[in-house]
Structure 1
């Protein structure tokens, strides 16, 4: 594809893109939500989530080795299902779930930034700051691959070192005691189904590895380095998540974590380090969210451009200059802004998790049904990924149906609209 430069992203740059997306809202915003659903043992949920993610990543690695592409998941679906409604709908669901994640990151940026200021803050400041971050990410993305990978790699390294240092310091202050938060503060309705549902949010925290697959054609030696970059990114992110979960659970009770779920890390730093800890955490959160949204916008715009060039999704130039990829960059940013203004953190995360899991199941089924011999995939691992996704998705839908049915309704409407819209578009273009 003419707009993409082969060998323009190194292994280090690819890992920077992956961790840039993962270690952002994934830990800053979701840690408290995971604790709310899973109770006292929430740090272990991240381990389970990484295991489910590992099964899931297997299909993507195998596909990337056989079909390295700048379109990533979109190309995988084409190989599995052909150029039809299923491919277009699943790819669009993936793109939308990633854009939803961008709005999650944006609102996390706003939430943590406001922790720097004392006193009550008006609610509209959170989406306003989030929109500002999205606009900045757009300006950085039009600057090119070299700047993006350098910026995200350096910033990712800073936040990994910073968060690990903060977590280790918090653990030392707590005398290395892995203390499960006060059980008396547990919500009474937390059970096995709710805990399984919490895994869905941890999967959302790890799904940043798909950013790497969406840049496959541009990564040096993609058949080797895509798999390596995914593995390294997941392991690095898991290590940081576990350290932070340990530090938070050692310094706050469960009720305190849930009460401050949108900014749990900043609140956890307060008992051990006072205002300095809060400032340090917020600065790291700002760095993390900036790199996360830049890397995500980078990947989504490329996948949408590939789908557009394959005539699988509609496209309007609206008299904009530049390439199709620049146009899809604009569409990505505009939709992210709309979602940032429209939904709070909890609902954004929930809708994103549902769309991603549905798309993920479709990827695995396509590999198992049509491509397992072609890509030399182990059918047991692929089927296991499908079963694990179904279990987690079912539990999550059940919990949200009981606690916030709006999330389930919106997710179902979005999926239905995507399938019907794609069917109508493809039927019209084929005619």
Structure 2
């Protein structure tokens, strides 16, 4: 492990950030980023689109994303540094393609905190229709920026608190739903396999559509890899944490989805936006309904946005450290006391207020989806390029599976989702890429120079 003031040939950087995180902390971070109560956002729409088989949709999505999670695991073991896919593709494939990958991550994650805060204000309007949304945006963004500037230790305690709160709410909902179905005899009145299997409706088209719906709900598991430089023994723990958090969140989603399906089997009459909340009210009454809405507002607007801001600030710090983006001198600095990428966190905070106030949810969703899926495809390709071709690790069956077949499956699955975006998403996404291409061409003096840390790597 590298020590303060020194660098290793594999990373090329001195250790500036404070290493305090364990595997448990990383798994909690991943769970919070993907949001255990996320079915409140997507369950109803997924259930309507899948003939009431939302739990199966979550299962398909988890399996589909699992291959990409394995790719993150492999690259984080090889390159235990901040930057996530930016650093992995930069070293595994090509420095300039790595920059474009980081540019796509910026498109993905830099707007997510504002998107999440916007969701929170939308939900709060159900309880407090006259509450000024601009004030909530400023307060939530201010809180998460303060925590991220102060350090990952503070963020760790906040994550633990919010995870416990969400798991408690989920447990209460499951207990109420079990009583509602199995004791009171409502809904299906008992066990049913229909939420997982309806043979007359399941075919390749259904599976493809299900993957398209569900995989977007798992976006965020990769944020764990941005914390590599703040993790104890990152080569062992980061990769395992990525896979573990994905599997755990998938099980949480399926459990909630299954009980919601039993409690309210008539999926066709669900409201696409508030349907899950309506089921909560049905099984647990007004008290649980309003508690879930308020919890959703707080968890999404503070906790979920906090982890996303933490992740993107570290990507910006990594790109600033490499001097490949505008304002690199500002973004690449570490706070002298807290040992955090404070400037990058403040920058994301200011931008999040602007995003939350002035950009529509529909536009934000388009940007997030294009950035995330494009990043995942490049990450899978970097595994094949680096291990299978550059390092020539292809001498046995294990290498063929791990360094060729699995990342290729991950690439093809994500690629299928990527081909399903609407025209406007492609226009916005490729316009963003074109801007990035101009920046990297200028910064690299016509693609001739690479960051100092990559010379000789």
> Scaled by the length of structure 1, what TM-score is found?
0.84
**Deviation by residue 1:261-297 (Cα, 9 ceiling, x = unmatched):** 2x43322211122211212212331343122111111
Residue in 1 that maps onto 2:417 = 392
Q: Check 1:415–1:132 CA distance in 2 against 1; reply closer, same or farther (3 A cut).
A: farther
Q: SS in structure 2 opposite 1:48?
A: helix
Q: SS in structure 2 opposite 1:311?
A: coil
Residue in 2 that maps onto 1:325 = 341
Q: Check 1:353–1:63 CA distance in 2 against 1; reply closer, same or farther (3 A cut).
A: same
Contact 2:27 2:244 in 1 (8 A): yes
Residue in 2 that maps onto 1:372 = 388
CA positional deviation for 1:344: 4.1
2:123 counterpart (112, 117, 122): 112
Contact 2:331 2:344 in 1 (8 A): no
Contact 2:60 2:207 in 1 (8 A): no
Contact 1:56 1:382 in 2 (8 A): yes
Q: Write the mapping of 1:35-54 to structure 2, written as runs, cut at 5 A.
A: 35-54=47-66
Residue in 1 that maps onto 2:406 = 381
Residue 167 in structure 1 maps to residue 174 in structure 2:
yes
**More displaced 10-residue stretch of structure 1: 229-238 or 358-367:** 229-238
Whole-Å Cα distance in 2 between the matches of residues 334 and 246 of structure 1? 40
Residue in 2 that maps onto 1:187 = none
CA positional deviation for 1:128: 5.0
Residue in 2 that maps onto 1:358 = 374
Residue in 2 that maps onto 1:4 = 17
Whole-Å Cα distance in 2 between the matches of residues 241 and 133 of structure 1? 26
Whole-Å Cα distance in 2 between the matches of residues 267 and 148 of structure 1? 32
Q: Check 1:249–1:99 CA distance in 2 against 1; reply closer, same or farther (3 A cut).
A: farther
> Scaled by the length of structure 2, what TM-score is found?
0.80
Contact 1:20 1:291 in 2 (8 A): yes
CA positional deviation for 1:53: 1.1
TM-align CA RMSD? 3.1
**More displaced 10-residue stretch of structure 1: 290-299 or 69-78:** 69-78
Which has the larger Rg?
2
Q: Check 1:172–1:243 CA distance in 2 against 1; reply closer, same or farther (3 A cut).
A: farther
Q: Check 1:198–1:408 CA distance in 2 against 1; reply closer, same or farther (3 A cut).
A: farther
Q: Check 1:428–1:11 CA distance in 2 against 1; reply closer, same or farther (3 A cut).
A: same
Name the one with the larger helix percent: 1
Whole-Å Cα distance in 2 between the matches of residues 347 and 52 of structure 1? 25
Q: Write the mapping of 1:23-422 to structure 2, written as runs, cut at 5 A.
A: 23=35, 26-84=38-96, 86-117=97-128, 121=129, 125-126=132-133, 129-175=136-182, 176-178=190-192, 196-252=208-264, 253-257=266-270, 259-261=271-273, 263-289=274-300, 290-315=302-327, 323=335, 325-372=341-388, 374=391, 377-394=402-419, 396-397=420-421, 401=422, 405-422=423-440
**More displaced 10-residue stretch of structure 1: 315-324 or 40-49:** 315-324
Whole-Å Cα distance in 2 between the matches of residues 97 and 73 of structure 1? 12
CA positional deviation for 1:156: 1.1
Whole-Å Cα distance in 1 between the matches of residues 154 and 45 of structure 2? 34
**More displaced 10-residue stretch of structure 1: 91-100 or 244-253:** 244-253
Residue 427 in structure 1 maps to residue 445 in structure 2:
yes
Whole-Å Cα distance in 1 between the matches of residues 318 and 226 of structure 2? 10
Whole-Å Cα distance in 1 between the matches of residues 103 and 331 of structure 2? 23
Q: Check 1:378–1:316 CA distance in 2 against 1; reply closer, same or farther (3 A cut).
A: closer
Q: SS in structure 2 opposite 1:273?
A: helix
Unmatched 5+ residue regions in structure 2?
1-13, 183-189, 196-201, 394-398, 450-457
Q: Check 1:108–1:163 CA distance in 2 against 1; reply closer, same or farther (3 A cut).
A: farther
Whole-Å Cα distance in 1 between the matches of residues 288 and 104 of structure 2? 38
CA positional deviation for 1:36: 4.9
CA positional deviation for 1:159: 0.9
Whole-Å Cα distance in 1 between the matches of residues 49 and 432 of structure 2? 24
Q: SS in structure 2 opposite 1:312?
A: coil
Contact 1:197 1:393 in 2 (8 A): no
Unmatched 5+ residue regions in structure 1?
182-189
